[in-house]
Amino acid sequence: MATHVIIGCVLSCVLVLTATGVIADDRTAVEGTWLNGAGDGWIELRIDGEELRGHISGSPDDPLNQKPSRLDASNPDESLRNRELRGLVILSGFRYEDSGRWSGGRIYDPNSGNTYRGTITLTDRNTLKLRGYIGVSLFGRTETWRRKAEP
């Protein structure tokens, strides 16, 4: 009797995880287009080999990408300040750990021109927690990103 209850609980958990679209070791679940924490940029996340990378694909206030792209004006390297933000890789070097967690990567913030170490955690099918920090994770900030709804 107790065995049937345990099997039932396990099957229920698997069904719930399947319904939400997040299976603990589905490393591809993170791929897609995400609205950043500030709500001003769409970031396209893709797995390239073993690395998760993200580039700016547009902004909510310009859904058809018809406006000229902003420039990387805050970049500490003056020679890079004239490059367009659209298409710019801002997340790189992230490696999959497990359970929807990626680490070891770099996050470039085009608003400040700073680059941070970071982690990315897929908390559910449509929510990412992105943590950027300098030195140790204790001294950092976490943003919540939302997946772009499919048309």
- Per residue, the 3-state secondary structure of 19-88, as one string, reads HHCCCCCCHHHHCEEEECCCCCCEEEEEEECCEEEEEEEEECCECCCCCCCCECCCCCCHHHCCCECCCC
pLDDT at 151: 66
- For the chain (length 151 residues), average pLDDT per consecutive 10? 46 41 73 96 97 97 90 97 97 97 97 96 97 88 94 66
Task: Tell me the domain boundaries of the chain.
Answer: 25-147
CATH code of the domain made up of 25-147: 2.40.128.520
pLDDT at 23: 47
pTM above 0.85, yes or no: no
pLDDT at 150: 74
